[in-house]
Structure 1
Amino acid sequence: MTAMTYKEREFQRRENDLLDALLECLQEAPLEQITIESIANHIGIAKGTVYKHVSTKDDLIAKLSLREFGDLHNLMVNVDQNRPVPVIIKDLITLGFKHMASHQTMGIIDDYVHSPNFKSKLSPEVREEIEHKDKEFDSFFIDLMQRGIDEGDIPNIPAKTLCDIIHFTMIGAYEGIWGCNAEEFTPNEILKFTNHYTSFILGGILSLED
């Protein structure tokens, strides 16, 4: 891989600053009130500089989603795969839940990027990147679930269906966490909830009939 030039590194650094600024703005105002100009003002740069990185606010939101969920994907693919699939799935659910529960602002982003017609509003380059990451994420879980089915550890139900069950159930749990005041819960209470939730999901999957 060719090393990045100084100019490329600076461009990447500024883009990360913009994504951080969007996250910080989300803690102060609703998403619909945030503009390219307010993001630029937040970090003291000209609005025109933002447009060197993205064409619209939606593109910036998509890039933030790519960064945050990309970090989660990287954590997941590095989980030890040389174990029974149910054990791996439990670790992945726990990892995903802990990551998302500690990033409450991402609940707003996740809802927005999964809203109808969101992808149609993106520039072609960003839309292609989003779709590629979605397929990569889905393939990782579907392949793992299929392995569990083939090895007889997971009920013989279409792998995509099982992945959808986990995904939609986790969305409900995330919304419950994001919709409350996390400061009301101690770290130990959150840990207990995460462990109970993970066991509940895995137990439900394993108890399904073929």
Structure 2
Amino acid sequence: MGYQDEAFQQRERVLLDTALALFRDRGWEQVTVAQVAEAAGIGKGTVYKHFATKESIYARLALEFSRRCLSQYRRVVIGDRALVSMREVIRQAFDLMCDNPIEVQLSLHCERPEFQERLDAGLRADFGELEQQYTELFNHFIEVAVSRGEMAPVSTEALYWGIEAGFHGVMARVAAGGFGAGCNMPDLARYLDHVADFMIAGLLGAPAVAATTARSTSSKDQKEPRS
């Protein structure tokens, strides 16, 4: 790598780190590109050589956070019970969310379809590739669990939807800053344990639910009068 390329990357790193620090201190919606440039000691015009818009900064920070999380999940070795190991990943994910609420807020914002449409093709591709990597990791846990007889075979796509919904529910709680004054919730660790257990229970119960739904649909079709 040449000197200019290295200097470019170092300057970009400074901008991202400075932006994140300001977002944590002042709120990511309130901070301007000019404020990021000033805090980083870099001209505003130079910032735009790295990031076309403030949304590009949002996207880069969200992508970096998601990649750091994925790297940690991949270090979990599947033990004797794949679903126990998967629950470990889920709890790790919840803890990472709680430790990084600003990144969670940015991630939720960046997942919005209208936001993604405004990104350049490269960033959109990065989000798509990362989503595929998460799906592959999830599928690997399920395939191992099925091969070991821990759970019955079922559509991994349907299971992924359920797991994703659970993750987004916790992300929304973290992004909102808690449960609200009127909620009678246990301490946070107990809450996250219950949610993780519920998600694993959902994986185990999914085949039975699918079979029940299929029977119900079939019965309904048989009862409908023919025209």
TM (norm. structure 1) is 0.84
Structure exhibiting the larger radius of gyration computed from Cα positions: 2
Query: Does residue 104 in structure 1 map to residue 87 in structure 2?
Result: no
Match of 1:206 among 204, 207, 216: 204
Contact 1:36 1:57 in 2 (8 A): yes
Q: What letter corresponds to residue 200 of structure 1 in structure 2? A: F
The Cα shift of 1:75 comes to: 0.3
Residue-pair matches, total:
203
Contact 2:83 2:141 in 1 (8 A): no
The Cα shift of 1:72 comes to: 0.2
Aligned to 1:44: 41
The unaligned stretches of length 5 or more in structure 1 are: 183-188
Q: State the distance in 2 between where 1:92 and 1:6 align.
A: 40
CA RMSD for the aligned pairs? 2.5
Q: State the distance in 2 between where 1:58 and 1:165 align.
A: 29
Aligned to 2:163: 166
1:50-129 alignment runs, 5 A limit: 50-129=47-126
The Cα shift of 1:77 comes to: 0.9
Q: Higher helix proportion, which one?
A: 2
Between 80-89 and 57-66, the greater mean CA deviation after superposition: 80-89
The Cα shift of 1:94 comes to: 0.8
Q: State the distance in 2 between where 1:125 and 1:181 align.
A: 34
The unaligned stretches of length 5 or more in structure 2 are: 180-186, 211-227
TM (norm. structure 2) is 0.78
% identity of equivalent residues: 23
Q: State the distance in 1 between where 2:64 and 2:173 align.
A: 23
Q: Which has the higher contact order (CA 8 A, sep 6+)?
A: 1
Q: State the distance in 1 between where 2:158 and 2:96 align.
A: 24
